[in-house]
Amino acid sequence: MSFDSLGLSEPVVRAVHELGYTSPTPIQKQAIPAVLEGGDLLAGAQTGTGKTAGFTLPILERLSRSSTGQESSARAARPVRALILTPTRELAAQVEASVRAYGKYLKLKSTVLFGGVGINPQIEALKRGVDLVVATPGRLLDHMQQKTIDVSRLEILVLDEADRMLDMGFIHDIKRVLAQLPKKRQNLLFSATFSDEIKALADSLLEAPALIEVARRNTTTELVTQTIYPVDRERKRELLTHLIKTRNWFQVLVFTRTKHGANRLAEQLTKDGVSALAIHGNKSQSARTRALAEFKDGTLQVLVATDIAARGIDIDQLPHVVNFDLPNVPEDYVHRIGRTGRAGATGEAVSLVCVDERQLLKDIEKLIKRAVPQEVIPGFEPDPNAKPEPIQPRRNQGGANRKPRSDESRPQPAARGKEPGSSHAAPRAETRGGQTSDAKRIDTKRVDAKRGDAKRADPKRAEAKRPDSTRPDAKRPDAKRGAESDKHGRNPARGGKPNAAPGADTRKPDGSNTRHEMEARGRGQRTSNPGALLGGRSRPSAATGD
């Protein structure tokens, strides 16, 4: 079967052939005709199966068929007619690049929206008019909140890697996006795994969908050679360096459980003479882009990544994937080793397993319904008397129990940080053991009461000097405001109401900030209301999530 026989027009087929593709993959053979029919679709496909082309090609075909005469209209009036949501910035950029490559001979416009970069260029692109938008949920909500994107005429919605979006806690963001979309539209949902949460989302989103599965659920490809190397936890890094050097490995993607672990391992490998960089949600977008580029062109030997940051890494023949830490969630093992053995190529997946991870390994083997072969490397035999230590679960793992992000806790676009889908981070408190570490210091350093008590002047003298003051009441420092009281303690500037007692809570009844707190916040000082600085919830990054 060829692409010509799938119902695609000549400009689309020509672009596909120029990219070197001659025949469709199994997912493309089934998905392209289904999407062209206009109905909803639920597709189970792992990474590396060609699923991106499976939905971008028919979407471009449908948009081009219905855009007759649109190019002659004002560019700013061009409506957004297709929206593709992805869990990470890298995957969003990758999908939009595919859209541009496949649609190079079509008169269609596309753009990508994600956090970690300036929002103004994205606003300008939307003003010029686009037919198709690829976005992460967080940044898309930023644009919706600012009303810089119009989705009132949307025709097609795609949730790509929906299982990962739910794992990252985007379910509430997705629901907020869905609430603003037209009810009548085509919905396409792609997922590598089928959890109960995915089934629930599909039931609420899709209407009589076509179902496509190109591989057994939660299974690994047979093209990937999987091996377990038992080793003591303290010697994992030493063994990894040994394998890389003795086997001349290049382009090695290494997974760690945490961002801190990724940074530490990359530094240690570099000291061992192995070129390595870490990529995770706390890295800037420019650093992530540079690391990916160096890894893809072979300049960088090892890329150390967290699960979320690795989404969107698209290398046709990535030879080696290493699980330096086994994932807490068995499904993540499937996602990880799916980075290699893609599109018919072979690959090798290696896992360094210590005594702490034996139960995690059992859970993985139960999921994939097979035992992974084990091999002990001479000189790295594990201590048979080693005692397992508890593994700290990844914070905010999964999205089932994540709280929705309210409008109040979602700040207006400004410099924010580590959210996988957006560049704006809510104010964050430093915590120790779940307690706000600065709470007591904030209260003990409260300055309002001291200034009011220490500089309280004689009421008569204050009244006598009042006519000479030309400064507006609203701008008077707190000390003078405390001085402007009559002999009964009432302040004429406050309508005869008594001044606040030293140490009293000066918040409004609704809990909002007082003027002094807002000024202190603007000056970067601590305030008497710690909660005023903790308005937003923190998110894991990009993965955050990573």
As a whole number, the mean pLDDT across the chain is 76
User: Does residue 526 contact residue 99 with C-beta atoms inside 8 Å?
Assistant: no
pLDDT digits (tens, 9 = 90+) for 459-516: 444 444 444 444 444 444 444 444 444 545 555 544 555 554 444 444 444 444 444 4
Other C-beta atoms within 10 Å of 364: how many? Answer: 26
Confidence of residue 32 (pLDDT cuts 50, 70, 90): very high
Q: What is the predicted pLDDT for the residue at 312?
A: 60
pLDDT digits (tens, 9 = 90+) for 356-374: 999 999 999 998 888 999 9
Confidence of residue 390 (pLDDT cuts 50, 70, 90): confident
Same structural domain, 177 and 235: no
The answer as to whether 407 is a domain residue is no
Same structural domain, 288 and 318: yes
CA angle 179, 184, 185 (to 5 degrees): 90
What's the CA gap between 25 and 480, in Å, rounded?
77
Same structural domain, 23 and 170: yes
Q: Which residue is associated with the tokens 């063994």?
A: 239
Q: Is the pTM of this model over 0.75?
A: no
The answer as to whether 381 is a domain residue is no
Same structural domain, 355 and 319: yes
User: Does residue 101 contact residue 19 with C-beta atoms inside 8 Å?
Assistant: yes
The answer as to whether 193 is a domain residue is yes
Same structural domain, 150 and 32: yes
Q: Strands 132-135 and 210-213, how do they pair?
A: unpaired
Same structural domain, 95 and 198: yes
Same structural domain, 271 and 168: no
Same structural domain, 185 and 275: no
The answer as to whether 304 is a domain residue is yes
Same structural domain, 204 and 83: yes
Tokens (6 digits) for 537: 């919830």
Q: Which of residues 115 and 533 earns the better pLDDT score?
A: 115
The answer as to whether 281 is a domain residue is yes
Same structural domain, 286 and 200: no
Total structural domains within the chain: 2
CA angle 473, 518, 475 (to 5 degrees): 15
Containing structural domain, residue 192:
3-213
Same structural domain, 195 and 237: no
The answer as to whether 130 is a domain residue is yes
Same structural domain, 316 and 172: no
Q: Which of 282-286, 368-372, 374-378, 393-397 has the lowest mean pLDDT?
A: 393-397
Helices 330-337 and 358-368, interaxial angle, to 10°? 70
Q: Strands 156-159 and 186-191, how do they pair?
A: parallel
Average pLDDT over residues 95-110: 95
Classify residue 340 by its DSSP letter. Answer: S
The answer as to whether 413 is a domain residue is no
Nearest to 297 by CA among 243, 361, 250, 345: 250
The domain boundary, picked from 213, 235, 253, lies at 213
The domain boundary, picked from 368, 399, 425, lies at 368
Tokens (6 digits) for 458: 């004689």
The domain boundary, picked from 213, 232, 267, lies at 213
Helices 51-65 and 10-18, interaxial angle, to 10°? 150
What's the CA gap between 197 and 163, in Å, rounded?
8
CATH number at residue 347: 3.40.50.300
What's the CA gap between 79 and 150, in Å, rounded?
7
Tokens (6 digits) for 335: 């996602």
